[in-house]
Structure 1
């Protein structure tokens, strides 16, 4: 029998799980609730139980399993030690060791969820065919993952790729959730785009179809596509700050491609157009003309990347 591997992506509400062939085909995927009570003590037990049930159903033995990978919402060291996952209630402990004990699977790898999603996109998504990439996830916040030579860049404390808190505006007065001011997340996330729209509406400098009590990033990008001047200004600011941040990242990482995903990225080509234009204007000559791609795996990127982790 061809070996299989499990990919697990732990979210705040559900744990996404997938069973894969070693060449990247998903043969089954499912979800279980994330039980966060008692500081998340049941999460790994529930995952182990679900894995064992799936193995029994498919008559898989431990010899048939190439490994099990897990993505978690927090910094993770290379040995599988989590350095606190506040929204799961976890403190510092070794997730990989715990899962090995619970499942009997020896090859267990653990990574930060954004980094793991980047690996998934490299394996079977928008970054397929590239070994050096930066993934940008534009959701409620701004997440990132860096892949170099086909491997996740974790950093010494598992915090590599945290691009949302690169400071891009030293004149900003509003405070970011991290406690600083002028972070990329304040301009390029869904909440950041809405913040910019509210400020623009307060000034009333341009006519617009946007309404203050019905604002969303989707509404802003939709209005911009329709030619709304105020919305177009907001999208230009979004593109300026994100393009500038990616130029800074490129001058350290020199990736082959930028892969852009997350809910905001559903706006489509307008994102690529604005960001790549501002990237080109802010980067040195040797780093111009990088590829910009949209992510393709959606919410499944985490399970793909988690499975891919165990195959090295």
Structure 2
């Protein structure tokens, strides 16, 4: 009898869903809107309805389904309890139990960044490795740590929250988390723009960045075009991120760092700025860690969620 599972990635705008076979092949994928009204009380029932509809469409019986894996944007404990998901309006409750009650299927839930890391280990940039750190450079900095093929969750589901490592003693503005000097403030897509604006305000050096909107893309496009100021901005970004990853390496000792998120669209040139600073300060035993670009894009979450339930 063929066996199947669902991989689900819950975002603040849409919920991505995938139907997989046991080998990890995605057979179908689709999206539904994330309705966050009424403190997100519609989200899980809407997911359950979508799963039921897909089972009916594909003529799959529930005894053929291994279960549902799901990534959500918030700290998730190993037992499926979410401590809070601000973007969804959720407070503290057991997400796995509730979705299991609604669907009658086994459910395993993890933090979305951790789940995406699991997906990249399984079918993406970390394939062939069992110990990886994934870094997502988007609006914020997300992280996921995989040790011996398993997500490092931690006591409160906060394992892998590398974006909120303190990395900059000179920072005076608060991060969105309430802290000051977080990695996210200097190495996210918004963080590198902050770095660029501060740098450009403090120098008269000519740069094409003065004549256009500054973004992570325009900064690295300028680097590729030989803009000296842009290269110095990228070097500041790389120093913070490379140093942070060297600190992470001392704890997690990964085989590979997988870099994803919008900033990673710059391509391998990112590594020129990260690796040199990483190598300067990393513990000798971790110097051989590789750097790779994420490969699954927006599908990392559904792949990782499927792997989560298949490994349960």
TM-score range, shorter chain: over 0.9
Report the secondary structure of 2:310's partner residue. Answer: coil
Q: In structure 1, what is the equivalent of residue 12 of structure 2?
A: 12
SS at match of 2:82: strand
The whole-number CA distance in structure 2 between the counterparts of 1:242 and 1:74 is 23
- Within-5 A mapping of 1:91-110: 91-105=91-105, 107-110=106-109
Residues 172, 212 of structure 1: CA spacing in aligned structure 2 closer, same or farther, 3 A cutoff? Answer: farther
Distance 1:229 1:138 in 2: 23
Distance 1:18 1:65 in 2: 13
Counterpart CA distance in 2 for 1:231 and 1:42 is 45
Deviation at 1:99, TM superposition (A): 0.8
Q: Counterpart of 1:302?
A: 301
- Once residues 7 and 218 of structure 2 are traced to their aligned partners in structure 1, the CA distance between those partners, rounded to angstroms, is 34
The aligned residue for residue 78 of structure 1 is: 78
Q: For residue 114 of structure 2, give the secondary structure of its aligned residue in structure 1.
A: helix
Counterparts of 1:306 and 1:52, CA distance in 2: 18
Secondary structure of the residue aligned to 2:63 is helix
Q: How far 1:182 sits from its partner (Å)?
A: 1.6
Equivalent position SS for 2:23: coil
> C-alpha distance in 1, partners of 2:154/2:2?
34
State the SS of the aligned residue for 2:68.
Answer: strand
SS in structure 2 of the partner of residue 238 of structure 1: helix
Alignment of structure 1 residues 247-258 onto 2, 5 Å:
247-258=246-257
For each residue in 1:128-153, what CA deviation from the matched residue of structure 2 results, as whole angstroms up to 9, or x when unmatched?
A: 10001100000000000000010100
- Write out per-residue CA displacement over residues 28-51 of structure 1, whole angstroms, 9 at most, x where no aligned residue: 000000011111100000000000
Q: Distance in 2 between matches of 1:258 and 1:80?
A: 27
Residue 198 of structure 1 contacts residue 212 of structure 1 at CA under 8 Å; is this kept in 2?
no
- Alpha-carbon shift at residue 300 of structure 1 (Å): 0.4
Unpaired segments of 5 or more residues in structure 2? Answer: none
- Whether contact under 8 Å (1:80, 1:94) holds in the other structure is yes
User: Partners in 2 of 1:224 and 1:24 — Cα distance?
Assistant: 38
Whole-angstrom distance in 2 between the partners of 1:193 and 1:27: 38
Partners of 1:216 and 1:170 in 2: how far apart? 24
* Deviation for aligned residue 1:213: 6.1
Q: Residues of 2 paired with 1:157 and 1:26: CA distance?
A: 31
User: Partners of 1:101 and 1:182 in 2: how far apart?
Assistant: 42
Residue 117 of structure 1 is matched in structure 2 by 116
TM-score, length of structure 2 as denominator length: 0.98
Segments ≥4 residues shifted beyond 4 Å: none
**Residue by residue, what CA displacement relative to the aligned partner does 1:255-311 show, whole Å, maximum 9, x if unpaired?**
111000000000001112211221111112111121111000000000000010011
Tell me what 1:62 maps to: 62
1:133 equivalenced with 2:148 (yes/no): no
Cα distance between partner residues in 2 of 1:142 and 1:212: 28
Residue 48 of structure 1 corresponds to which residue in structure 2?
48
Matched, 1:285 2:284: yes
Counterpart-to-counterpart distance in 2, 1:301 and 1:97: 24
Aligned counterparts of 1:252 and 1:212: Cα–Cα separation in 2: 43
- Distance in 2 (CA, whole Å) between partners of 1:281 and 1:165 is 22
Q: How does 1:125-274 map to 2 (within 5 A)?
A: 125-211=124-210, 214-274=213-273
Matched-pair contact (CA < 8 Å) for 1:69–1:306: yes
Q: How many residues align?
A: 311
Give, in whole Å, the separation in 1 of the partners of 2:213 and 2:294.
Answer: 27
After superposition, what is the alpha-carbon deviation per residue over 1:206-232, rounded to whole angstroms, capped at 9, x for unaligned?
Answer: 110013761111001110111111110
The 1:144/1:193 distance shift into structure 2, 3 A limit, reads same
